[in-house]
Amino acid sequence: MDILTELSKIIGPEHVLEGPDTTRYAHDATGEYNATPIAVARPADTGQVSAIVRLANEANTPIVPVSGNTGLVGGTYAKGAILISLERLNTIYEIRPDARIAIVGAGTIIASVQDAVEDHNLIFPLLFGARGSAMIGGALSTNAGGSNVLRYGNTRALCLGVEVVTPTGEVMNLMSELHKDNSGYDLKYLFVGAEGTLGIITKAVLKLFPKPNSYATAMVAVPGLKDALILLNRLQNETAGAVEAFEYMPGSFMDMHKAHFPDACAPFDTNYDVNILVEVATASPNMSVSDILETCLGEMMEDGRVFDAVIAQNEAQRAEMWQRREASAEVVFAISPRVDSDICVAVDKVPTFFELVAPRVTQLDPEAYTSSVAHLGDGNMHFSVYPTRDDKQLANQLMEEIEDVVKSLGGSFSAEHGVGLSKRPSMARRKDAVALNAMRQIKTALDPNNIMNPGKVLPD
């Protein structure tokens, strides 16, 4: 069977891309995972996705789903495989304000959903730098996080239902619109976060939330991370949990940002070691989050727990504060060699992580330097080490030291970026063996021919 000819019959030859036409699909956002696939197939609907998967399963040909291709762990590496691009499954089928749900295709760009629901005075609160190109299917497949997880949860928490094409080409209808349904196993949780290894998400029911009518956003310098957590908890108490984002940027990152963007304004006249971007929001006309934030910061300055603070006075100043945080990936990836981690510990253990990891890095490479940005409000850190030499053995040692500290604190080596290819060694080292065995059994049961994004997530 000529699989490319059969693909052309299903979706039309203009939507079967080969050779140089596959270039923009053949690498992820890091640029570190490059491979020319057999072809890129661009189906228009769930029926075509199903037909392609059936074809691939019968031919025992690997397939890799791809959405916006903004991943950072090699999850869409497709050497010897057919890439199935979901970009044409971009229909926003329904927005139902009274139920506060949106029903969308997996190829819908996150920002497009956000723009569409804004007309209904609602938000879809998935906030990260790539939302202008990342798609719903990819966000669900990786269980993406971002800056608003503190208040709204990660992508799994923002989804009520999904439609999935299984590895044998069957269409599984899990498109629940319900907040309560205990009729057996909640299978959607198998597919959300599975990185396309168990099936292809083609449609989703998303939760929407009231659009805040006021924001209070500030850059705050504090003596240490423990002081930052006191600020976080105080704001949470006084606003009934209205803190939307609480982002940590150390002085080392501020220096890197300034070097990368020399025309950017620094947040303060003085360089501080611990800088926090905090945003509080409310849809209630009876709460002034600006007053609460200003009062809280003023009182903590008097107590010596805040060094300095700048509250955004308009949308332009707010956008400038967010630009600094959302440019972090560009800043971090501009310097090599580096060892990146996407880790999570309990919020109160974040200061301990930094205290423990620093001497371990120095012991391995005395001249290495580190930097980090963190979703401090949920304990997720993007911790980077810049070693003095490009040495794979040293990089592996540094990663294992980071993982050792994380494990000792009861944390996870993978927080929001997924596992893909790059974290499979970590899965082998750190994931509970019984859990890994259960995952392998699920994979074998659903994908007996191992065609669905093979070689990702699970270690050999």
- What is the structure's pLDDT at 31? 84
- What is the structure's pLDDT at 32? 86
pLDDT digits (tens, 9 = 90+) for 408-432: 999 999 999 999 999 999 999 999 9
Residue 251 confidence class, pLDDT cut points 50, 70, 90: very high
Domain spanning 214-329 has what CATH number?
A: 3.30.70.2190
Q: Is 2 exposed, middle or buried (0-12, 13-18, 19+ CB in 10 A)?
A: exposed
- What is the structure's pLDDT at 30? 85
Three-state secondary structure along 73-131? CCCCCCCCCEEEECCCCCCEEEEECCCCEEEEECCCEHHHHHHHHHCCCEECCCCCCCC
**Residue 161 pLDDT > 90, yes or no?**
yes
pLDDT digits (tens, 9 = 90+) for 182-235: 999 999 999 999 999 999 999 999 999 999 999 999 999 999 999 999 999 999
Fold observed for domain 335-417: Alpha-Beta Plaits (3.30.70)
Domain spanning 92-210 has what CATH number?
A: 3.30.465.10
Same fold: 214-329 with 335-417: yes
- Average pLDDT of the chain is 97
**Residue 342 pLDDT > 90, yes or no?**
yes
- What is the structure's pLDDT at 239? 96
- What is the structure's pLDDT at 1? 57
pLDDT digits (tens, 9 = 90+) for 375-386: 999 999 999 999
Residue 29 confidence class, pLDDT cut points 50, 70, 90: confident
Query: So where are the chain's domains?
Result: 3-85, 92-210, 214-329, 335-417
pTM: 0.95
The CATH label, of 3.20.20.140, 3.40.50.720, 2.40.50.100, 3.30.43.10, for the domain at 3-85 is 3.30.43.10
**Residue 123 pLDDT > 80, yes or no?**
yes
